[in-house]
Amino acid sequence: MIGIIGAGISGLSLAYHLQKLDIPYILLEASEQAGGYIRTIQDNSTNHRAYVLEQGPNSIMVDSEIQQIIEELGIDEELLPSNDVSQNRYIFKNGKYRKLPAKPSKLLFNRFFSFSSKLAIFKERRRPKQTIENETLSQFFERRFSKEIVDYALNPFVAGIYAGDPEQLLMHKTFAQLHEYEQNYGSVIKGLIKNKSVERRHTSSFKKGMQTLPKAFAQKLDRLKLSLQVTNVQKTTSGYTIHTNDEQTFQVNQLVVATAAPAAQQFLAESFPAFSQALGKIYYPPMVAVHSTYKRDAIKHPLDGFGGLNPKIEGLYTAGSIWTSSIFSGRCPEDEVLFTTFVGGTQSPQHTTNSKQITLGKVHQELSEHYQISASPLYQNLCKWDQAIPQYDLNILDAHRIADELEQEQLFVCANWKDGISLPDCIKKGKKLATKLAEKYSPKVVNE
């Protein structure tokens, strides 16, 4: 039997695909519900107005592989594609939100970047290839493009998607594909052109919110145990013994760690002290998400896009906002708009220490100033993650190295702190690992 600890989206996908392959497993989850950071609130408390609020991921990029899994789960009718305006991205620059060209080719014919940056983009294909160990995102993009592109494109994107700092995140870990383009083709742009036929993906959610996805996975599973916290893992001659907080034990042949690193650090401390110590080095910055709704006629900005991101160099309090009601229908009443605003992350963790009242006030102040809002919010909701997204920086390298080595001892990792943080990454790595485990599966012990 295969023991999986953690029923976030990675663990759920792994268990689901093992079950499809008729491989016995047990999936243990400490909380009362599966899904990890994917949490949807449907709030009807404000004068009977219905809000669909995401505390975690707001959307998922769907390609044919993810689409097939969604159909297998029976939730394809619940899939909610994004509206056309979501292709537009705005960046705060020189006191206002400006539209960033949707395609790299249009950057050369747009006023967003200076002439020198456009020239740098044009010349990128002729720059010599370099191999720099543990190069950061900032170093890579400044070397191949320009400092302005780092400040006004890379920085806000990394803060918004990864809650990260491009001066710390590693290129070969965070943007592995772009890193490979330089190594394989000598240029990022050449790599993009060579691979332009790569299957297109579309931004989607679900009519009742993102939590539809983990719920559907969980409902398909025969051996999911909730509210069962793993306290210790012991190595045995035939595999592993998993100990839980209610003194249950599970004997397994292979062990898969699918929890966040801080949780794994605790239950692996006795049997794998070096791995546990390495896991303790992984940094998860704090992040606050604030949902704010306003009357549509009180806002002058057209909100014709996915959202607005705030470069660190502009010195704003928030990292940016997703224009949730512009992207997806049914997130709030039609005469209102819903913003999801992010505060904190690696670049400004100190902003998450303010009280709820101060944070809500500062968010409203920035929104009203930069989107020309003439009224108070109808509704505000705050969610704080003390440990949000794992950072693929120098501190994560030891954990990745040891995790690879421990596969020889039948211990595997299927979590967002290794091999990608996005929802598609996590779902696909679960499927891939299920196939790998099925190929080598050889039961040696009784199930329990």
DSSP codes of every residue in 152-200: IIIHHHHHHHHS--TTTSBHHHHSHHHHHHHHHHSSHHHHHHHTTTSPP
Split at pLDDT 50, 70, 90, the class of 266 is very high
Q: Chain-centre distance of CA 216, in angstroms?
A: 19
pTM for the predicted model, two decimal places: 0.94
Assess whether the region 40-86+285-385 and the region 104-194 belong to the same CATH fold.
no
> In the prediction, which pLDDT does 446 show?
42
Boundaries of every domain in the chain: 2-37+213-283+392-440, 40-86+285-385, 104-194
Contacts of 135 (CB under 8 A, 6+ apart): 143, 170, 171, 172
For 116, counting Cβ atoms within 10 Å of its Cβ (0-12 exposed, 13-18 middle, 19+ buried), the class is exposed
> In the prediction, which pLDDT does 101 show?
80
As a CATH number, domain 2-37+213-283+392-440 is: 3.50.50.60
Mean pLDDT, residues 274-285: 99
Split at pLDDT 50, 70, 90, the class of 111 is confident
Stronger pLDDT, 136 or 445, i.e. the higher one: 136
Split at pLDDT 50, 70, 90, the class of 45 is low
> In the prediction, which pLDDT does 445 show?
45
Task: Give, in words, the CATH class of 40-86+285-385.
Answer: alpha beta
Mean pLDDT, residues 393-407: 99
DSSP 8-state secondary structure symbol assigned to residue 306: S
Q: Is the pLDDT of residue 373 over 60?
A: yes
Distance CA 162, CA 389 (A): 6
Contact 399, 275 (CB under 8 A): yes
As a CATH number, domain 104-194 is: 1.10.3110.10
